[in-house]
Amino acid sequence: MEKFQRYYLSFLLLIVYTNTIAQVNCNAVEGENCKKACEQYNWASDRQDSRESREAFDKAMGLCHDFSSSYMEKVVPYLKNEDFLTWKILIDKAVAVDPKMYLGYRDWSKFQFLWDYKEAIRDLKEIKKYYSDNLGRSLNGDYHWHVVRGMPYSALGQKEKAAGFIENPLTSKGYFKGTDDHYQLGVTYYELGRYDKALENFEKQSKENNFAGNIYFKSKVSKIRNKDYLDLKKLELTTYDEGKTMKDV
């Protein structure tokens, strides 16, 4: 299930990356040195992965330690090159400068690339605490928060705990259900061998937002139970050919 789990952690990266890839309006930046850092950042952003851009990002960070946009561009190449030690040093500095922007990115990276599920759990707790203490906002009703929260526990083999994180909010008043929460819950129950609960959630998912992955697991349950397997397998392949699949943004 882990390849499916990583899809959900990637939404954290999407939030961060969407906020950083655009050019920054330097006129809105306070402080002369920070304006210069912003200009360096904008110049370097158009020349990514070049020696000149790396030098410009370094200069921007030196001019203004609080200009957080430079950090993302600086840390990403180390992650891509699997230099996790340098990445960890830099991303921790970035989180110290702008927790709202970088906590989610750090957590997603620990899950996706380092497979450090215990650290991912600690980061998720820190994210929740930061939003509560500094923004006066609870994440309990947020789209996919409980799914994301359950994924590291599932990866650590704590499937029952993961299922609880995902399932409990589904019956809570005011919870904004994600487009595939029942699918995730169904897969978790499938891995627990609780096929009736798994099928129940796959059926609910089918009524709300059906796609090839959901039909695939329905067919797996049906094969185990010797019911409707071939029909579901054919439907799964047809649905896949029609492009009705989950996509990692």
Residue 114 confidence (pLDDT): 86
SS (H, E, C) the chain: CHHHHHHHHHHHHHHHHHHHCCCCCHHHCCCHHHHHHHHHHHHHHCCCCCHHHHHHHHHHHHHCCCCCHHHHHHHHHHHHCCCHHHHHHHHHHHHHHCHHHHHHHHHHHHHHCCCCHHHHHHHHHHHHHHHHHHHCCCCCCCCCHHHHHHHHHHHCCCHHHHHHHHHHHHHCCCCCCCCCHHHHHHHHHHHCCCHHHHHHHHHHHHHHCCCHHHHHHHHHHHHHHCCCHHHHHHHHHHHHHCCCCCCCC
Say if CB 57 and CB 73 are below 8 A apart: yes
Distance between CA atoms of 199 and 3, rounded to whole angstroms? 20
Please say whether the dihedral angle defined by the alpha carbons of residues 31, 34, 39 and 42, taken in this order, is positive or negative: negative
pLDDT at 219 exceeding the cut of 80: yes
Residue 129, CA distances (Å) to 64, 124, 125, 160 in order:
27, 9, 6, 24
- Region at 177 (left for phi over 0; alpha for psi -120 to 50; beta for the rest): beta
pTM: 0.68
- HSE, CB side, 13 Å, CA atoms: give it for residue 87: 20
Per-residue pLDDT at 115 exceeds 80: yes
Among the residue ranges 12-21, 62-71, 108-117, 222-231, the one predicted with the least confidence is: 12-21
pLDDT tens-place string over residues 96-112: 888 888 888 888 888 88
Radius of gyration of the chain (CA): 21
Give the Cα-Cα-Cα angle 25, 137, 94 (nearest 5 degrees).
45
Averaging pLDDT over each range in 6-10, 107-111, 172-176, 186-190, which range is the top one?
186-190
Q: What pLDDT is stored for residue 240 in this prediction?
A: 79
Q: Of 65-79, 135-149, 153-167, which has the strongest mean pLDDT?
A: 153-167
Name the one residue in this structure whose structure tokens are 């909010």. Answer: 169
